[in-house]
Structure 1
C-alpha cells in the first residue's frame, strides 16, 4: 500500500474568517473560504489518492461533494446539531477521527488547513515524493503554527492550537521520528487578516481566491508603516 490521503478540516461556513469582519460580510467570507478550498483541492487532486473533508457543517460537506471530495461528518455532529466553532481540542479530535478512518487504507496522510490558497506556488508534489523516504514532514505557518503535516496516520497526537509547530516537533521526537521542516512562504500564508488578502492579490495569479477578491474590487498598495500593505475596497 503506497498511498497518501489529504485531510482538510473545515469549520462551519457561518463563522468563516471572523477576523476579516467588517471588511468582508458574512456571505463574502463564506465565498472566500469556498474559493480557497477549491484552490487547495484542485492543486492536490492530481497528486494524492484521496481528499477527505471533515466537518460538522452540512453546508461545508455538501460543497465538498460538489467538488468531488470524500466527506466525513465529525462525530460530535451526531450528538448535537450545534454549529458552534470547534475549539482546538475539537479540531484535534476531528483529525484523529479522520486518521482512524484512513489508517488501514493509506500509508501516509497530509493534513492541511482550508485557507492556504497559494499552495500551488510551492512544489507540493516534490514534498509528497519526499514523504516516501521521510518519517515526518512539517511546514510552519506564520506565528508558530502548523500549516502542513505529513506522517503515517496516528503517528503522533495532534497538537493544533497556539504554537503548534513546536509542539508537533516535540511529539515527533518523543515517538523517535525525525522531523523534516519544509519552510515555504506560500504554504505559510494562511488567510486571516486584510494584509493576508493583500498578499493573495500580489502572489495569487491564476487562483480562484484572487479572482474572487478582484470581483469584490479589493485593491492593495505598498506602504512603509506598521503594516507593509494597505488593503482597500472601492
Structure 2
C-alpha cells in the first residue's frame, strides 16, 4: 500500500470544549486541548507517513509546528467538513489513503492505529464510532465520499459509504470511542489514560474521580 496521511482538524483554542465551561476555566480548557492534541499526534507520528493538522487558528498552527507535523491553513472558518475536504484535496497528490482523526481522543493507542493501518492495506472504508454516535476515525481514499461530520455522523458516513459503493468496516474500540466533552469523560481519562499528557495535565489541576452507583457512573471533582 502507498503512503497514508493522518488528518487532524482543529478549531480555535479559544473555542475549546465549551461544554466543560462549568467545570474548567477557559485557559484550562485550552491547555486540555493542547494536551490531547499532543497525545494524538505523538501516537500517530511513528506509524503513519505524515500527520497534517488543518486549522484557521494561528495559535493552533503555531502549536502544530512545535509538534513537528505538517500544517494547512483552513480556507473557510467554522466549517469542519469543508476543512477536512480541503485537507484531503491537498493529500490526494501525496497519498493513497487518509486517516481522519479528531484532536480530542487522547486514549488512542499504537495498537489501535496498527490494527487500522493493517486493515487499510486491503479495505477501502474503515470507520471507528464515538460513544455519542459520532465518528472518531475514518480511513478512506481522499475525497471518496462527502464529509458528514456533525450530529450522528457515524450513521451518515456509513450511509455515504453505501451510496458510493463501499462496504464500510466498523472498528469498535472503547479507547477510540472516547472523545472528551463531559466531566465523566475526564474521569475516564483519569482511570485509563496512564502515561498520557492529558492525564498528567488533569492531575496538575488536582482532578480526582471516584466510582458511584447512580445516574452517573463516575463522580469527578476538582480539589481547591
TM-score normalised by L of structure 1: 0.93
Structure 1 residue 40 and structure 2 residue 40: aligned? yes
CA shift, 1:76, in A, is 2.5
1:230 is matched with 219
CA shift, 1:122, in A, is 4.3
What secondary structure, in the 3-state scheme, does the structure 1 residue paired with 2:108 have? Answer: helix
Supply the distance in 1 between the matched residues of 2:220 and 2:98 (Cα, whole angstroms): 36
Q: For each residue in 1:98-137, what CA deviation from the matched residue of structure 2 results, as whole angstroms up to 9, or x when unmatched?
A: 0000001101000010000000174211211110100100
Supply the distance in 2 between the matched residues of 1:105 and 1:231 (Cα, whole angstroms): 44
Contact 1:111 1:148 in 2 (8 A): yes
Unmatched tracts of structure 2, length 5 or more: none
What secondary structure, in the 3-state scheme, does the structure 1 residue paired with 2:76 have? Answer: helix
Q: Quick one: which of 153, 165, 174 aligns to 1:164?
A: 153
Q: Quick one: which of 144, 148, 164 aligns to 2:137?
A: 148
Contact 2:43 2:110 in 1 (8 A): no
User: Pairwise CA RMSD of aligned residues?
Assistant: 1.0
Q: Quick one: which of 123, 128, 133 aligns to 1:139?
A: 128
Q: Report how many residues are paired.
A: 223
Contact 1:138 1:149 in 2 (8 A): yes
Once the two structures are superposed, the pairs formed by residues 190-201 of structure 1 within 5 Å of their partners are: 190-201=179-190
After TM superposition, the runs of 4+ consecutive aligned structure 1 residues lying more than 6 A away are: none
1:199/1:122 Cα in 2 relative to 1: closer, same or farther (>3 Å)? Answer: farther
Once the two structures are superposed, the pairs formed by residues 1-234 of structure 1 within 5 Å of their partners are: 2-76=2-76, 86=78, 90-120=79-109, 122-234=111-223
What secondary structure, in the 3-state scheme, does the structure 2 residue paired with 1:119 have? Answer: coil
Supply the distance in 2 between the matched residues of 1:172 and 1:67 (Cα, whole angstroms): 33
Supply the distance in 1 between the matched residues of 2:112 and 2:86 (Cα, whole angstroms): 28
TM-score normalised by L of structure 2: 0.97
What secondary structure, in the 3-state scheme, does the structure 2 residue paired with 1:165 have? Answer: helix
Supply the distance in 1 between the matched residues of 2:202 and 2:131 (Cα, whole angstroms): 22
Supply the distance in 2 between the matched residues of 1:69 and 1:190 (Cα, whole angstroms): 22
Supply the distance in 2 between the matched residues of 1:31 and 1:104 (Cα, whole angstroms): 34
Supply the distance in 2 between the matched residues of 1:196 and 1:22 (Cα, whole angstroms): 14
Contact 2:98 2:139 in 1 (8 A): yes
Supply the distance in 2 between the matched residues of 1:39 and 1:110 (Cα, whole angstroms): 16
